Structure 1
Amino acid sequence: MKKNIVLIAFLVISIIVSGIVLTDRIQVESENKYVDIILDYREIDELAKQSSYDISWWLQSFKELGIEYVAINEETIELLEQQNYPIEYMLGKDAIKNAKLDHPNFNILKKHLEDNEVGEYDLVVLTRSQDMYDFIKGGLEGRYTEDKFDFVIGEGSYFAILKGGISEALYIENIHLKDEQGKAYAAGTNFESSKLIRVGLGFSQDKIDKVEESGLKVLARPFSFYGWVGEKYLEAVIKDLTDNNMVPSMLIFGGSEVLGYSHNLDVMKDFMVENNIKLGLIETPVQRGHIEQRGLDLLTRSLNYEAVRIFSILPWMQERFQFANYSGAEEIENMMYRAVTERNIRTIYFRPFKKNKVEYVTDFNEYEKMFNRFEGRIGTHGIELGMTQAMRPIRVRLIKQTLMAWGIVAAGVFLLSYLFKLKNRVKYSLFILGILGTPLAFVIRPYLMEKVMALGAAIIFPSLGMLYFCHACYNYYVSDKEMNLGKKIVTAIKDLIIVSAISGIGAIFVASILSNIEFLLELDIFRGVKFSQLTPFLIYGLIYFAYFGYNSKDIKNEPSKVKINDIKALLFDNIKVFHAIIGGILLIVGYIYIARTGHETNIQPSEFELVLRNILEENLLARPRTKEFLIAFPILMTGIFFALEKYKALIFMTGLLAVIGQTSIVNTFSHLRTPVYLSVIRTVYSLGIGIVFGAIYILAFILLLKIVDKIKKINLYE
């Protein structure tokens, strides 16, 4: 340690700075303690139609549960048709065909066809209702320029023609035609619909009145349709919000872009600032980042991050009623609970439960029970239902980033010096290059550099933890000191805590250096997590060779650096069938381990694992990670025990599994949307439970040895 006093000094200073930054982040997270729940009007309306009560009764009942807002989407051709209004629509190409066939309803369009005023990509809307025609006509004229639409009236029919192009066309792909023998004859695509069915037409006054009469507030959701939305549309929506007293505390935009994109974004920003309106960021189905809309990130930054992350109950989630051996909506409640406590979600876009794809759960008691349980559970985290506030925008200053980076550089040089026995001249040359280069890199590419340093910390510190593991195992293996069983278990516990604490330093660096609000809102994401989980395995292999060599018979000498001869011996060794089988098993296990990391995977946990997770989640403040407390942490303890018992062949394999736990510690803190306190609690739980399992595994191994020994002594011929 005396030889590395300078490196250690820089590391200690960096840890202190990281602690200061992390304290600021924890304070910001603790202030964010209110959760909004927003009802979806259309789904509640469908629920009411299947029940014995009207929508007003349902809205008033939900209000008593602490809900304040109901989201009303802007009416579109698609929504009007789905709500059974007297309306039908078709593509221009189909209207042209009907007119050519002298269909009586389309005779009125013949002149437009002759004048080429209806194109195949247009959307033709037909209604025989004067009121419906007036609504559509008023919506189009009040929101869009005259070149976007046309109207035709005659013979009791009213037509609205929305001008479209190929960019609005929607196709059904992979159409296969087959002959009488079932052989493919042709394949292609079919022009089936148009995006124009979702052009916004305004808000339904009837829906607004029902929501307000129930004592709830309207959260209007405009639908921004790319290519149609301009200054006129923006002005019309703002007028609707202000004239109808519907200025919300939050705006959740529908469509492919935010309102005002791109030429009028400043107008939208000014309106939101003047009215203290937050921006809603809807989390993606894979729980990573938010649904992309043109201009969304730009508007968020221009609002100084006055934004809130939203968890939307998706259709497949609605069907999780009586799921995983639950009698009610407990699994849906679990998903809401995880979103709020683990992912800093502060608004839930709620859709009612379903028994299947079409049948709603109409027993209000089920909703009441779920919301009461949910409110009680989030209350244990100091969170309650109420008007959500945007998270205070935290930023890490350049000087702090640089000081933290210096500690990571020092740790990296420290690791290299142990692996390759670097001379002081080389070691400190590398360190000086690092401390001179990091501030310059932060100035040139700040966003890239903070990710690079976080990635470095995620790799270096678990590797240093495994360096300590190998160092401890080596000393125990060559030592002649005797210990009783109790002392051996205590020693294994102590070393597990030390190794995990070293990895925990890396977790602190990652969580602090990436504390910017961009990461907390997931506008930016820490990438390279899987790479950071794989690399320590390779480094562990090098560390092991440095201490134990490859098939080395004599390791009583002082451990040296990684030897080229050991690498050569490994690469050119004869591979036996047994080795190939073990290698194949390790590859499969490794693939599953990496694939299960994150949510973007087809490998899902089994129902038993879901039940186990839910039990832990319901009884603990944070669910510990199964791979940590059941595998990695107890196996590290058994590795220490094997070293004490001189089982050299088992040390390497236990170390490989132990790496999983050390990278997992850092990975827990790499989920930057998760509050720091929850990551700490989760890791402490894992360590505590892992220690218990570690002691059980050691005792089970001893018992197994005794059983094998007794079997060997049995004389089968007596």
Structure 2
Amino acid sequence: MTKNVIAIAFILILLTAIGSLPLLANRWQAEENDRQVEIAIPGEWVLQKGKLQLAQLQLFKEAGATTVLLEAVLPKPDDAAMPGELLTTAFKSAALALREQHGWEVMAYIAAERFPVQEEFVKELFKELSAAGIKRVQFAGMEVPGYTSDLEPIANSLIEYKMHAVLVKSQQGALALSRQSGYQSIRSLFFNSQQLQSMTISEAVDTFELGVRERGIRLVTFMPQRGGAVEGNEGAAVKRTDYESHVQAIIEQLHRQLKDEYRWGDASPIAEQYSEPSKLWRTLPVVGIGALFLLLAGSVFEALSSRIRTVIILLIAAGTAAIWVLWMAAPAGWSGRIESVIALWGAIAAPSAAVLWMRRWHKRKELSPQEMEAAANNGAVGKNRDIAKSGDIVRNGVGNRSAAIEKRAVGVGHALIKAVAGYAAAVAITSAGIIYVSALLSDIAYLAYIDLFRGVKLLYVGPITIIIIGLLLQGDWFNTWWGDRRGANGAADLAAGDTHRSHLQPRLRSARDTANSRSRKRRNALFIGAALVAGGAGMAYLLARTGNSDMVLPYEGELRQLLSDLFGVRPRTKEWLIGFPLLMIAACMVARYRRGIWLLPLGAIGLCSMVNTFTHLHSPLSISLTRSWTGVLLGGAIGVLFFILADCLWKKRDRQQDVNMEGN
């Protein structure tokens, strides 16, 4: 029954993963088309008393700037009678000259307290902005005008005149305005003048480049220096000039580093590049997530009775169908919430099913203790010739204990092949989950950074908890490395490894085995206690670092930069240095010694982080893919090297112990 369920689950996973790939291809194409970047500078740097300073303009243009941020000074909204034209003649003349004569883009910068909230004035303002050739507007202040009353006039005007609002996520009302205007917004990255002056040129360039490459930023804005230059204050004027020179150097270096991959000027929202797929097309990821739960159930509940497993499988199938019907019938607001919950379930199920299935796959290839004992006594088990040979060696009285054990354990090469195969299968199952989550959340609200994937911390805690429960149900949790590492099975070691010596010294062997057993139990108890404490502390630290955390270990910043320089995209530390090496080491130990089961929950950290990487839906798929596969390969290689080194040391120690025992 379990084999049939798992076979059906794998077939569904394969079909739905392949069927969901066109959804990701659609998003990939939109992200490749969305490579137009703008660099905006304050208008006061190139304007003096309403006249363009051509020398300054040319310097910034040669550096790579594309856009001028012009501040629109509007009449006070409490005036009894507002004038017929809201924009000044100087503003409109400068905007037209910059666009038509010098080839610059212009962005209007409007203070919220001066913005007219009446609908007729809003329409008139956007009409004048459009006539001046302005395509985007940035609002100053902590909130968007009309946030507390009505955003609809601004949203409708943006749509009517095909203009874009600059999205500042911390600004109240910015997300609501983007939704109401059909996601016609462009994300901007900027720092105030004090922050930017405190950064070196390299630090600032690295930050802006990271935003453009990995976070979908398409507008880099340099804000004016407020309160700096004052008429007649020579010191303040010099300070302001230094700031402008600092910005110019940053723009030049940023332009050099990005010019081969990005186009410059006239950026557009991702909504203009991306065609959102229908709900019906996104049914495939929902079915795929149900198949992941089916695979998970087949691995977790294998020890239960056939009847209980059947009930669980039917509940999973019925639950998947019910959720799909509810999602299809839900209105727009509730549909997004249900969609995010389904995606979270899939994100938790994928690494859980991957690790537990990897353990099940290794377990199928192992012999039971009874089979191992028979192999040792008879030397005739066809499934494992190495065991048979070791039985012959011991029975014929030739060779020492470590030679028999070395023959009887699975060879390093064979174990590595099995371990790498299991590791690759776990990554493949997790990748299927990533396809489902990314395809299901292929909603423009996520790509435009308006909606965010929720439950990142649960994405780590959930799989690790499920894996521990699964191992407990399978009776594997206490099958640790410390049991008796030096054989493929502890039972076989006692049955075969000591057979020759037991004929000569039965009483001594019995006393030694009893002492060793007690010693092993004490080590196990101490080890399990220490592992629980260390695991709890590690999980607390991991959760503290999860998300947009500023917690960085000493020298980690330098290491991150080195990895970025080597691979182009920095792999995540918790993947290449912690999760994936532990997963590979666990796979190697299980394949060679049937030990190391306790490492599997810790190895799941890499798979969880891999899923988490792709839940940053505003980041380009190409970046997430490069980051994850770099972590998979680098972490796997580290795990293999560590295991080979440790295995050599263990062999050397075992041989020395045997020499000492033979001498005694």
Alignment of 1:532 with 2:479, yes or no, is no
1:448 corresponds in structure 2 to 337
Task: Please tell me the residue identity of whatever aligns with 1:388.
Answer: A
- 1:698 CA displacement: 1.5
Partner residue of 1:407 out of 288, 291, 305: 288
Higher helix share: 2
Alignment of 1:20 with 2:22, yes or no, is yes
2:13 corresponds in structure 1 to 11
Partner residue of 2:64 out of 63, 66, 71: 66
Contact 1:308-1:346 at 8 Å conserved across structures = yes
The 3-state SS of whatever aligns with 1:615 is helix
How many residues of Structure 1 are paired with residues of Structure 2 in the alignment? 554
Contact 1:226-1:256 at 8 Å conserved across structures = no
Task: Please tell me the residue identity of whatever aligns with 1:438.
Answer: I
2:391 corresponds in structure 1 to none
1:250 corresponds in structure 2 to 136
Contact 1:596-1:604 at 8 Å conserved across structures = yes
- Change over 3 Å in CA distance of 1:235–1:513 after alignment to 2: closer
* Deviations 1:540-559, CA, capped at 9 Å, x for gaps: 112222334454799999xx
* Deviations 1:22-77, CA, capped at 9 Å, x for gaps: 111112211111011111346x589x9xxxxx9764443111233222213345xx
Partner residue of 2:37 out of 35, 38, 60: 35
CA distance in 2, matches of 1:58, 1:710: 78
CA distance in 2, matches of 1:262, 1:612: 46
CA distance in 1, matches of 2:474, 2:194: 52
Gaps of 5+ in 1: 49-53, 76-137, 149-200, 283-289, 323-328, 558-572
The 3-state SS of whatever aligns with 1:139 is coil
Alignment of 1:590 with 2:536, yes or no, is no
- Change over 3 Å in CA distance of 1:408–1:578 after alignment to 2: closer
- Change over 3 Å in CA distance of 1:615–1:278 after alignment to 2: same
The 3-state SS of whatever aligns with 1:678 is helix
The 3-state SS of whatever aligns with 1:64 is helix
Task: Please tell me the residue identity of whatever aligns with 2:354.
Answer: G
Task: Please tell me the residue identity of whatever aligns with 1:230.
Answer: Q
CA distance in 1, matches of 2:420, 2:526: 36
Contact 1:312-1:350 at 8 Å conserved across structures = yes
2:577 corresponds in structure 1 to 630
1:321 corresponds in structure 2 to 199
- Change over 3 Å in CA distance of 1:673–1:556 after alignment to 2: farther
CA distance in 1, matches of 2:116, 2:245: 44
The 3-state SS of whatever aligns with 1:345 is coil
Contact 2:219-2:267 at 8 Å conserved across structures = yes
Alignment map for 1:212-361 (pairs within 5 Å)? 212=97, 215=102, 216-225=104-113, 229-231=117-119, 234=122, 237-238=125-126, 241=129, 246-259=132-145, 265-282=151-168, 290-294=169-173, 296-315=174-193, 317-319=195-197, 321-322=199-200, 329-351=201-223
Contact 1:230-1:264 at 8 Å conserved across structures = no
CA distance in 2, matches of 1:360, 1:503: 53
CA distance in 1, matches of 2:141, 2:65: 25
- 1:4 CA displacement: 4.5
- Change over 3 Å in CA distance of 1:206–1:401 after alignment to 2: closer
Higher strand share: 1
- 1:619 CA displacement: 3.3
Task: Please tell me the residue identity of whatever aligns with 1:20.
Answer: P
Task: Please tell me the residue identity of whatever aligns with 2:15.
Answer: I
- CA-based RMSD of the aligned residues comes to 4.0
- Change over 3 Å in CA distance of 1:31–1:251 after alignment to 2: same
Alignment of 1:385 with 2:264, yes or no, is yes
Q: TM-score, normalised by structure 2?
A: 0.73
Contact 2:126-2:161 at 8 Å conserved across structures = no
Task: Please tell me the residue identity of whatever aligns with 1:505.
Answer: A
Mean Cα displacement is larger for which, 257-266 or 529-538? 257-266
- Change over 3 Å in CA distance of 1:350–1:708 after alignment to 2: farther
- 1:370 CA displacement: 4.3
CA distance in 2, matches of 1:594, 1:263: 39
Contact 2:67-2:106 at 8 Å conserved across structures = yes
The 3-state SS of whatever aligns with 1:399 is coil
- 1:331 CA displacement: 1.8
- Change over 3 Å in CA distance of 1:238–1:305 after alignment to 2: closer
- 1:588 CA displacement: 2.0
- Change over 3 Å in CA distance of 1:263–1:527 after alignment to 2: closer
CA distance in 1, matches of 2:224, 2:570: 27
- Change over 3 Å in CA distance of 1:68–1:208 after alignment to 2: farther
CA distance in 1, matches of 2:524, 2:335: 47
Alignment of 1:467 with 2:353, yes or no, is no
CA distance in 1, matches of 2:97, 2:150: 31
Partner residue of 1:651 out of 582, 586, 597: 597
- 1:20 CA displacement: 1.9
Task: Please tell me the residue identity of whatever aligns with 1:321.
Answer: M
CA distance in 2, matches of 1:548, 1:617: 43
- Change over 3 Å in CA distance of 1:492–1:234 after alignment to 2: same
- Change over 3 Å in CA distance of 1:207–1:541 after alignment to 2: same
- 1:667 CA displacement: 0.7
CA distance in 1, matches of 2:58, 2:535: 57
The 3-state SS of whatever aligns with 2:216 is coil
- Change over 3 Å in CA distance of 1:458–1:432 after alignment to 2: closer
- Change over 3 Å in CA distance of 1:471–1:400 after alignment to 2: same
Alignment of 1:508 with 2:435, yes or no, is yes
The 3-state SS of whatever aligns with 1:686 is helix
Gaps of 5+ in 2: 229-235, 369-383, 387-408, 484-488, 493-521
- Change over 3 Å in CA distance of 1:210–1:223 after alignment to 2: closer
- 1:333 CA displacement: 1.2
CA distance in 2, matches of 1:464, 1:221: 51
Contact 1:628-1:664 at 8 Å conserved across structures = yes
Alignment of 1:687 with 2:642, yes or no, is no
CA distance in 1, matches of 2:198, 2:554: 13
The 3-state SS of whatever aligns with 2:565 is helix
The 3-state SS of whatever aligns with 2:167 is strand
CA distance in 1, matches of 2:27, 2:439: 8
CA distance in 2, matches of 1:660, 1:451: 22
- Change over 3 Å in CA distance of 1:361–1:684 after alignment to 2: farther
1:133 corresponds in structure 2 to none
Alignment map for 1:610-621 (pairs within 5 Å)? 610-621=557-568
The 3-state SS of whatever aligns with 1:38 is strand
Mean Cα displacement is larger for which, 386-395 or 416-425? 416-425
- Change over 3 Å in CA distance of 1:492–1:208 after alignment to 2: farther
Contact 1:218-1:246 at 8 Å conserved across structures = no
The 3-state SS of whatever aligns with 1:446 is helix
- 1:467 CA displacement: 1.0
- 1:665 CA displacement: 1.2
Task: Please tell me the residue identity of whatever aligns with 1:63.
Answer: K
Contact 2:105-2:265 at 8 Å conserved across structures = no
Task: Please tell me the residue identity of whatever aligns with 1:585.
Answer: A
Mean Cα displacement is larger for which, 499-508 or 574-583? 574-583
